[in-house]
Homo-oligomer: A and B are copies of this chain.
Amino acid sequence: MDLKSRIERVRNQFIVHDTEAILISSPSNKFYLGNLYSSSGYILITRRSQYLIVDFRYYEEVKNESCIFEPVLMSKENNIYKIINLIILKEGIKRIGFEGQEISYDLYSEFSKLLKCELFSLDLSKIRMIKDADEIENIKAACKIADDAFNHIVGFIKDGISEREVENELVRYIKQRGGEKESFDTIVASGIRGALPHGKASEKTIKSGELITMDFGVRYKNYCSDITRTVALGTCQELLINIYNLVNFAGKEAIKGAKPGVTLGYLDSTAREIIEKGGYGKYFGHNLGHGLGIQVHEYPAVAPNSDEVLIEGMVITIEPGIYLPGVGGVRIEEDILITKGGGVSLTNSSRELITL
């Protein structure tokens, strides 16, 4: 989909919210709508035009690219308030929507004091919910690198190396394979640290008899993958093997159920009920998954009671887990593209327990 159609998605909000302009400040939406991936700068979409407002650091790039935006140079003298007030005046704008989840309270206060129009917070998280073909290609490429990295790392893990060394090797491999960077801080949680769902890699050494959970992702052309695998080093206690099999089964059933028309709440319950029936319900304390795209966590959450419905073109994660304090944990995560025929996994590493 071209940028123009994406901008029209934003303009479609004008009627819903009875507004004439929307100010975009989140890096992910600025990239989605205007190829600008930066924490600074703004996009202002009005009925008549669309403005890309950046400081001198980005102005040369923006100006040189032939694009559908009117480039505006922001500086100490010609600040964002002056720029927007001029556009307000020129186009007779009475009301501007802004990304209230993104803009800080202090920045809002300044806007509200200095802009000569009414302001209101609106949520644009749904505009990126359905991925187009180009986006899916990038996510697929990010998933492929993640799969290859997993395949590589199982040959690297051995008794006595630290979680940090595993993380470093993963990141090195990802970059060498053309991933821009990891899409979030890599989690490597071994042994009893596996009970920490967000146990970032530590100096702890990995020992035989432990499960090792690795949750990592790749950023490729500004799109993310996000994969988790738990592997065993040597023989682990039966309890851990049992929870592995339960988590694996719960995940597989959820993937089977990820079809257009199903609510995300129902999808979450598919996996959750299996884990509950297995007796570990209270040890699965997070959502089943989340949307995935330019951000590693984006709308929608695959959460209990969510009424949002799966639609063709969504990409979500499915990542059940069980975390036993003082014992260890298991999580298995796939990235799933919703197609007419059902959920298709974009991550393809083996889900069966690998014993190293």
Contact = CB atoms under 8 A, between A and B. Distances in A.
A35 interface: no
A285 B103 contact: no
A63 to B, nearest CB: 10
A320 to B, nearest CB: 16
Give the size category of A's interface with B.
20 to 34
A325 interface: yes
A106 interface: yes
Interface string A60-103: 11000000000000000000000000000000000000101111
Interface stretch (A130-138, A149-157, A193-201, A233-241): A193-201
A332 B57 CA distance: 17
**Oligomeric state, in number of copies?**
2
B57 A196 contact: yes
Contacts of A168: 172, 175-176
A80 to B, nearest CB: 16
A197 B195 CA distance: 44
A109 B123 CA distance: 14
Contacts of A109: 100, 121
A198 B57 contact: yes
A104 interface: yes
Interface of A: 56-58, 60-61, 98, 100-109, 121, 167-168, 171-172, 175-176, 181, 185, 195-198, 285-286, 325
